Amino acid sequence: MNMFKTFALMLGMFFLFIVVGAVFGGTLGMFVCFLLATALNLWAYWNSDKALLRMYGARQVSEQQAPDLVSLVRQLSSRAGLPCPKVYIMDDPQPNAFATGRNPEHSAVCVTRGLLERMNNYQLAGVLAHELGHIKHRDTLIMTVVATTAGALQMLLSFGARRSGMGLIGVILVSLLAPLAAILVQMAISRSREFEADKFGGDLAGRPLWLASALANLEPAAQAVENVTARRNPATAHMFIVNPLSGARIGKLFSTHPPIADRVERLRVQAGVDKFRPGNW
């Protein structure tokens, strides 16, 4: 089903690129965007994960460089029946994480420096188990392709408005069409994916409240600490375990995450406790 959604999304973006080209460049613009969309779809399938990691300045680490982190990923992925993904760290103070890759055999888990500094080992295990859930369910392909194509659509709209000489009409068109990138993200990325990854992560870690505790701590930190790269590339916000744009107005437009309170409540029920308290996990 996820593979079908991915190709449906790529087809939809293909035609949307052609429409934008026709609006701003007539027949020539439509032809150029036809070629651009064809190349982008092929490129996104094979390379969007690498581009995303480069965008965030993530560096791959080995077990010698980050022994505790890589060892934990290896243990959890083995328990999940997955090949061990590559492990990346991005030098960002906001505590957050995401997974990417077109399939489990070509996957990666990326965490921020802020996450490693703020989370204890139990909370970190919960976060990593959640990200492995996205890999296990093969969510990462569509999530990564959406991030690439929606971002490219935004750039195309901005470029077309500047170069078309349409003046006020161009500005109005961009203001109407630009939110389509966010709408496409919300259509393609169901919030149920986060709930499913949470449930899988709780089971995989063995203690759902480890993840609940991590989420409860991540939300206020994401609001207080800005992720500069995510703010510049809001179409990638859905990749993260919590919305990296929570403290920004644009975060609401690009929000694909369920409320943290709902996620914590489901994990509480999964753990079979009457009430979640920060100290009872």
Q: Which residues are catalytic?
A: 131
Rounded to 5°, angle at Cα 182 from 176 and 183: 80
**Cβ contact 88:53 at 8 Å:** yes
Measure the CA–CA gap between 84 and 68, rounded to whole angstroms: 14
What are the residues whose beta carbons fall under 8 Å from the beta carbon of 209, sequence distance 6 or more?
A: 202, 267, 268, 271, 273, 276, 280, 281
Measure the CA–CA gap between 30 and 38, rounded to whole angstroms: 12
**Cβ contact 248:228 at 8 Å:** no
Structure tokens that stand for 183 in this block: 């709408």
Residue 129 Rama label (left phi>0; alpha psi -120 to 50; beta): alpha
What are the residues whose beta carbons fall under 8 Å from the beta carbon of 23, sequence distance 6 or more?
A: 29, 160, 173
Edge-to-edge strands of the sheet including 97-101?
59-60, 86-90, 107-112, 97-101
Angle between helices 179-188 and 2-55 (to 10 degrees): 120
- Give the amino acid at 118: R
Give the largest CA-CA distance in the chain.
64
6: closest CA among 64, 35, 49? 49
